[in-house]
């Protein structure tokens, strides 16, 4: 054991050396505990400075989290606040953390702590919803998260309302149906609601089990309040190789109707099919209460999408031209153009919008040769029905 007086003298040396290296007046020493990753992970790393004339560099991976020295002082800045970490692994008998302390000027001590709290909290941000017309986003939010709000649910029940709600998201591919689901389930996770995602595969497996009605019912049940997503439901319901479609719809609908709801549940179904192709029995109120149509973005929404692009990308192109030339494109197609643009930039160091447009059209015409048929639509009528604007269809 090191006698206490020499142990504290060692610590004074560390504090003084760190304060001197970082030019800190009236230094305060601290250990960061659980905040250490928030602190050093978000700070700008400065140089390494010798401690008592000695410096040992340490090779580390993920270096932003480590001082990368076993003997020395590492300088940092967070939100413009200078601080330092003094490290001295002096004796193998010591806990490695014994001689490893942070030092900051007293005047900045509280400020630094607040900064760490702020950046640590910023780690779980609200996730970004897809770009939608504001009214549509409101309707979506109100009918899902708003509906599940404890106070609302209670009032609905008290007034004798149905604690079940069905939403159908429709529209041509690539305009944010799946993105909206993804955003909603992130929000469920953040706000503590249950959620369940039913995949076409899981649905098919339930259908083939020996008690299909019960198995399907289980898939579509949450125990507390929550949201159940059935993305691309038409693909699951119309797998003609596995089940006869009329029979399948009936099983599906009776399973849905038979579910006992404990607190409150929202069903969110998505499909690329036009509404007219969807079984009227399914669309009946009580099963589907609300249909939200995800259409191709107008100029304003395309601009909003581009406003989310990296500043370098936006600075490299003429946004007015980009908005104008993408009339009739889906959100996903506009994103694909950005992707081509970036790949081209990596190759050539130039932002070439025209090149991206040409390349995009070329890729599209290659794909258009393989006629794909998805969903409810009869051959020749459906999947290609979304207008594509650039004249070559899907």
Binding stretches for ligand ADP (CB under 6 A): 130-132, 173-179, 294, 305, 331-332, 335
**CB-nearer residue toward ligand ADP: 29 or 291:** 291
* Residue 382: contacted member of Mg ion, ligand ADP, none (CB under 5 to 8 Å, by partner type): none
* Residue 174: contacted member of ligand ADP, Mg ion, none (CB under 5 to 8 Å, by partner type): ligand ADP
Question: Does 330 engage in binding with Mg ion (CB under 5 A)?
Answer: no
CB of 270 to Mg ion, least distance (A): 6
**CB-nearer residue toward ligand ADP: 108 or 232:** 232
CB of 295 to ligand ADP, least distance (A): 10
Determine the 3-state secondary structure of 268 from DSSP: strand
CA torsion through residues 157, 225, 133, 296, sign: negative
Give kind and range of the element (H or E) at residue 136: helix 134-141
CB of 244 to Mg ion, least distance (A): 26
The Cα 205–Cα 43 span in angstroms is 49
Note whether 77 and 68 are within 8 A (CB): no
Note whether 186 and 222 are within 8 A (CB): no
Note whether 101 and 15 are within 8 A (CB): yes
Indicate the residue whose CB is closest to Mg ion. 178
270 φ/ψ angles, rounded to the nearest 5 degrees = -130, 150
**CB-nearer residue toward Mg ion: 166 or 264:** 166
**CB-nearer residue toward Mg ion: 178 or 225:** 178
Q: Which residue in this structure is represented by tokens 């010798």?
A: 50
Q: What is the 3-state secondary structure (H, E, C) of 92-117?
A: CCCCCCCCEEEEEEHHHHHHHHHHHH
Strands 226-230 and 265-270: parallel
Question: Does 225 engage in binding with Mg ion (CB under 5 A)?
Answer: no
Determine the 3-state secondary structure of 329 from DSSP: coil
Question: Does 178 engage in binding with Mg ion (CB under 5 A)?
Answer: yes
CB of 233 to ligand ADP, least distance (A): 12
The Cα 141–Cα 170 span in angstroms is 16
**CB-nearer residue toward ligand ADP: 131 or 266:** 131
* Residue 329: contacted member of ligand ADP, Mg ion, none (CB under 5 to 8 Å, by partner type): none
CB of 294 to ligand ADP, least distance (A): 6
CB of 357 to ligand ADP, least distance (A): 18
Note whether 394 and 384 are within 8 A (CB): yes
**CB-nearer residue toward ligand ADP: 102 or 185:** 185
Mask 62-81, x = binds Mg ion (CB under 5 A)? --------------------
Strands 100-105 and 69-78: unpaired
The Cα 152–Cα 150 span in angstroms is 6
**CB-nearer residue toward ligand ADP: 179 or 225:** 179
* Residue 194: contacted member of ligand ADP, Mg ion, none (CB under 5 to 8 Å, by partner type): none
Instruction: Report, in angstroms and rounded to the nearest whole number, the Rg of the chain calculated over CA atoms.
Output: 29
Total residues interacting with Mg ion, rule: CB under 5 A: 2
The Cα 150–Cα 191 span in angstroms is 11
Q: Which residues bind Mg ion (CB under 5 A)?
A: 177-178
């Amino acid at each position: 054991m090191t006698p206490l007086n020499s142990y504290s003298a060692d610590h004074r040396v560390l504090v003084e050396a760190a304060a001197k290296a970082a030019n800190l007046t009236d230094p305060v020493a601290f250990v960061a505990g659980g905040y250490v990753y928030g602190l050093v992970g978000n700070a700008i790393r400065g140089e390494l400075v010798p401690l008592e004339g000695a410096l040992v560099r340490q090779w580390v991976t993920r270096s932003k989290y480590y001082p990368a020295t076993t003997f020395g002082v590492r300088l940092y800045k967070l939100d413009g606040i200078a601080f330092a970490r003094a490290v001295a692994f002096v004796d193998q008998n010591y806990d490695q953390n014994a001689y490893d302390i942070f030092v900051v000027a007293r005047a900045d001590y509280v400020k630094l702590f607040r900064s760490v709290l702020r950046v640590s909290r910023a780690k779980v941000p609200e996730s970004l919803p897809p770009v939608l017309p504001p009214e549509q986003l409101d309707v979506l939010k109100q009918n899902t998260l708003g509906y599940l709000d404890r106070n609302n649910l209670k009032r609905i029940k008290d007034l004798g309302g149905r604690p079940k709600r069905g939403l159908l998201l429709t529209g041509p591919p690539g305009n944010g149906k799946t993105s909206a689901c993804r955003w909603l389930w992130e929000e469920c996770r953040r706000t503590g609601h249950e959620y369940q995602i039913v995949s076409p595969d899981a649905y098919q497996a339930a259908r083939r089990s020996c008690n299909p009605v019960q198995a399907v019912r289980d898939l579509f049940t949450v125990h507390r309040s929550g949201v159940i997503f059935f993305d691309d439901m038409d693909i699951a319901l119309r797998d003609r190789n596995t089940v006869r479609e009329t029979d399948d719809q009936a099983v599906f609908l009776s399973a849905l109707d038979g579910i006992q709801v404990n607190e409150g549940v929202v069903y969110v179904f998505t499909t690329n099919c036009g509404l007219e192709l969807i079984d009227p029995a399914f669309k009946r109120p009580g099963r589907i209460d609300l249909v939200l149509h995800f259409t191709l973005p107008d100029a304003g929404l395309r601009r909003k999408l581009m406003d989310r692009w990296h500043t370098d990308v936006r600075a490299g192109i003429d946004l007015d031209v980009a908005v104008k030339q993408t009339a009739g494109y889906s959100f996903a197609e506009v994103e694909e153009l950005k992707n081509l643009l970036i790949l081209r930039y990596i190759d050539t160091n130039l932002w070439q919008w025209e090149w991206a447009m040409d390349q995009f059209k070329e890729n599209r015409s290659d794909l258009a040769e393989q006629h794909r048929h998805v969903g409810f639509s009869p051959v020749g009528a459906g999947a290609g029905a979304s207008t594509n604007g650039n004249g070559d269809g899907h």
